Amino acid sequence: MARSKKRLEELLNRLESGEDIAARDLKNALTEMEFQQFEDEWKWYQDTKKDVWIESSSGYDEFLKVGDFLYSKSESTRFKKEVRKKFAYDAEHQYELALEQLQADISQNPAIAAAYDRAPDTTLPGVDPSYTGMPRKITSKSLNNQSNVVFSASGGSTIGRVNTTKRDLKIKTIRNSLALFDSNEDCKEIRKDRSEGEVGRSEVVKYGTTSQANKLKQMLEKLKK
């Protein structure tokens, strides 16, 4: 099926208004290569959400689990104030041990850093031995998961990461297709202009050649008289 800019714009408008579109409609509107790229990219997004995708620190995860448990106890009104303070102190201690463990594991295997939403560096904003300040797995369902930021395996540098839905990816794919569509149309116009220019120049040359031939013919006729 031939690509249609109007059809692409129609699908994009539906998506941006909150609707979804069938994979069949998307496939028919894109080129074979564009649709294959869409499927490959969606598979990549799915793979990044699986725990098996990136190695993590089991030691850190265990300390974090205990710390979260103690923190929840410190927030409970079922206990007396002094008991709650003790729970809070113990929770902070577990968080400190967890950060030390994660730092040690990452120093041995930098790839582990990519499993968490932030680096275990308390000098960075948003990182401290507290319930809200601890690194969380990027696959975690915790409300404290800041998985719009990932740390690269090469050294913990930050990389933007968006929790992309399939509809988001469809919008992105169609926008890219439209941009490419417009680019190709511009190229066609340039080729057309060049072609018309070549025709114009050839007509000038042809006219000039005909005019010179007529003048030469007139001169010969005068010589014969």
3-state secondary structure 123-143: CCCCCCCCCCCCCCECCCCCC
Domain count, the chain: 2
As a whole number, mean pLDDT of residues 25-29 equals 93
According to the model, what pLDDT value does residue 72 have?
95
Q: Clarify whether residues 131 and 68 are in a common domain.
A: yes
Q: Clarify whether residues 92 and 24 are in a common domain.
A: no
Domain boundary among 137, 155, 188: 137
Contact 87, 74 (CB under 8 A): yes
Q: Exposed/middle/buried for 210, CB within 10 Å: 0-12, 13-18, 19+?
A: exposed
According to the model, what pLDDT value does residue 187 have?
52
Q: Clarify whether residues 46 and 99 are in a common domain.
A: no
According to the model, what pLDDT value does residue 20 have?
92
Q: Clarify whether residues 33 and 3 are in a common domain.
A: yes
157-216 pLDDT, tens per residue? 343 444 678 888 899 889 888 887 766 655 555 555 555 555 555 554 455 555 555 655
Residue 147 burial (CB count, 10 A): 19
149 — pLDDT class (breaks 50, 70, 90) = very low
According to the model, what pLDDT value does residue 154 have?
42
Domain boundary among 84, 102, 137: 137
Q: Clarify whether residues 21 and 65 are in a common domain.
A: no
According to the model, what pLDDT value does residue 208 have?
55
According to the model, what pLDDT value does residue 206 have?
53
Q: Clarify whether residues 18 and 77 are in a common domain.
A: no
**Residue 83: pLDDT over 80:** yes
55-78 pLDDT, tens per residue? 789 999 999 999 999 999 999 999
Between CA 158 and CA 119 the distance in angstroms is 9
CA distances from 14 to 11, 19, 107, 174 (A): 5, 5, 48, 11
111-144 pLDDT, tens per residue? 888 788 888 888 777 789 999 999 998 778 888 8
User: In terms of Cα–Cα distance, which of 84, 47, 51, 88 is closest to 71?
Assistant: 88
Q: Clarify whether residues 67 and 126 are in a common domain.
A: yes
Domain boundary among 93, 121, 137: 137
pTM of the model: 0.46
For residue 182, being part of any structural domain is answered with yes
Q: Clarify whether residues 31 and 78 are in a common domain.
A: no
Q: Alpha helix locations (H) across the chain?
A: 5-16, 23-29, 32-48, 58-74, 81-108, 166-224
According to the model, what pLDDT value does residue 22 have?
93
84 — pLDDT class (breaks 50, 70, 90) = very high
Structure tokens of 199? 């025709």
For residue 218, being part of any structural domain is answered with no
According to the model, what pLDDT value does residue 52 have?
46
The domain of 86 spans 55-137
Cα-trace Rg, the chain:
34
Burial 160-197 (b: 16+ CB within 10 A, else e): ebeeeeeeebbbebbeebeeebeeeeeeeeeeeeeeee
